[in-house]
Amino acid sequence: MDPEEFVQALKKLGIKLNDHQLAQFDLYYHLLIKANQTVNLTTITSKPDVYLKHFYDSITPARFIEGLRHHSLSICDVGAGAGFPSLPLKIAFPQLKVTIIDSLNKRINFLRDLVHRLDLKNVKLYHARAEDFGSRRSHHREQYDLVIARAVARLNVLSEFCLPLARIGGEFVAMKSVNAPEELDQSRYAIDQLGGKVINDHTFKLPVSGDIRRIIVIRKQKRTPKKYPRKAGTPNRRPLLNTK
């Protein structure tokens, strides 16, 4: 997908980018590739692949969540890595208020420079573990309209990272691929325990490549019990499962 194909593909979704936004995506690409020489940010480096599998893919939640397009939602991106999906969403929809957390300080340093160079406003960056960021002592707990994550962990683990950060009535959006049905089945107990309910499960294919994508939308219906998230590392070692 070259930049023109990127523009046309987004137009089909009803998303139009202006020249300034296109220049931001172009600069994003060049800064990403330059930084990737010294910091492990992505294995996807060709321009067509970055535009398709990072930029376009990151914007796809706006196909299904209308608020991303029109409202000043507060978004927390858990484990954003090189800024995906929140920064492409921020470029496409500048009114969004974005918070990014990542456990690797080198990535946060890259993102800090990137946000500055792209002149993005209302973007906050935190070097933190998700378990600490959403703990009962954190002022970030249950504060966000939308919590989003892409390619971070299995859904039962990811739910424990993300649902504690969503406000009641807010949503957790998990961006997944072909293994999503199995993950979702294994995660229903965890989602319920953490105060969530699956309200939508969208499957589609990326243009050009035909890669399968799954966007699972989970609404926060009740407060997350104070014991969650558990200590850093525990969700990965002992995922929440229904053992009955």
Phi, psi of 179 (to 5 degrees): -85, 5
Question: Which residues are annotated binding-site positions?
Answer: 79, 84, 130-131, 150
DSSP line for 175-243: EE-TTHHHHHHHHHHHHHHTTEEEEEEEEEE-TTT--EEEEEEEEE-SPPPTT-S-STTHHHHS-----
Q: Which residues pair with 148 in a beta bridge?
A: 77, 173
Question: Which residues are annotated binding-site positions for S-adenosyl-L-methionine?
Answer: 79, 84, 130-131, 150
CA–CA distance, 18 with 211 (Å, rounded to integer): 27
CA–CA distance, 9 with 3 (Å, rounded to integer): 10
